[in-house]
């Protein structure tokens, strides 16, 4: 997939450790680290495909996510490690929660070259099952869990987030309600999130990620 142009206005919204780099004539965001899914690599920088990563798409579009280099991160819905491996390239301790065993095996492989990436085969809807592992006061809670009750997942995991931290969530409308109007579905999820957070930004992720909404919020 061809990358979308990076947002104008400089790269001040990018965390330290994420840079625009040129790959085969196209400018792409990139991080330094071992490649995990065959992405282009140049001088130690691995391209970040916005079509495979909703966080990559957000950063490429200039969304201010609150991520900073060296942050402690709790990542919910890590899947096979495509995005969380990039996060671990620039962040500090990164706890990656994934419930499905098959992608979790790939996640473990992605973590082998990243000593700061900690895979957890757990259910993000049940934070009590990993509360003994994840430190409190994380800087960023990133949520990419494609399940019904996405707002509730964000609220249940609020306990791990520092009071001055950031929630960055990607809401998949069809996982929440298969038949309902997309905007109505987004509204219901955001309303739930607002019970624990103050929403700073919302942005649709089309066309790279159809029927997805990016939500950036701060704890109340």
Whether 104 has a binding-site annotation, put simply, is no
Whether 124 has a binding-site annotation, put simply, is yes
Whether 79 has a binding-site annotation, put simply, is no
Whether 99 has a binding-site annotation, put simply, is yes
The secondary structure of 41-103, three-state, reads: EECCEEECCCCCCHHHHHHHCCCCCCCCCCCCEEEECCCCCHHHHHHHHHCCCEEEEECCHHH
Whether 26 has a binding-site annotation, put simply, is no
Whether 147 has a binding-site annotation, put simply, is yes
Enumerate the known binding-site residues for S-adenosyl-L-methionine.
Answer: 82-83, 98-99, 123-124, 144-147
Query: Known binding site: residues?
Result: 82-83, 98-99, 123-124, 144-147
């Amino acid at each position: 997939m061809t990358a979308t142009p990076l947002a104008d206005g400089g790269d001040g919204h990018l965390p330290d450790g994420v840079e625009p780099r040129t790959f085969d004539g196209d400018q792409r965001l990139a991080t330094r680290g071992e490649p995990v899914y065959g992405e282009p690599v140049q001088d130690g920088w691995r391209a970040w495909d916005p079509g495979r990563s909703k966080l990559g798409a957000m950063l490429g579009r200039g969304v201010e996510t609150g991520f900073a280099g060296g942050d402690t991160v709790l990542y919910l819905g890590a899947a096979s490690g495509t995005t969380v491996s990039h996060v671990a390239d620039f962040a500090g301790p990164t706890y990656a929660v994934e419930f499905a065993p098959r992608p979790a095996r790939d996640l473990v492989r992605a973590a082998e070259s990243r000593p700061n990436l900690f895979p957890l085969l757990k259910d993000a809807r049940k934070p009590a099952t990993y509360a003994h592992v994840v430190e409190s006061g994380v800087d960023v809670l990133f949520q990419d869990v494609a399940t019904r009750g996405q707002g509730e997942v964000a609220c249940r995991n609020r306990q791990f987030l520092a009071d001055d931290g950031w929630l960055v969530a990607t809401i998949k409308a069809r996982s929440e309600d298969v038949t309902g109007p997309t905007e109505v579905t987004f509204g219901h999820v955001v309303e739930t999130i607002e019970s624990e957070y103050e929403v700073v930004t919302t942005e649709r992720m089309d066309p790279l990620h159809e029927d997805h909404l990016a939500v950036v919020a701060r704890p109340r």
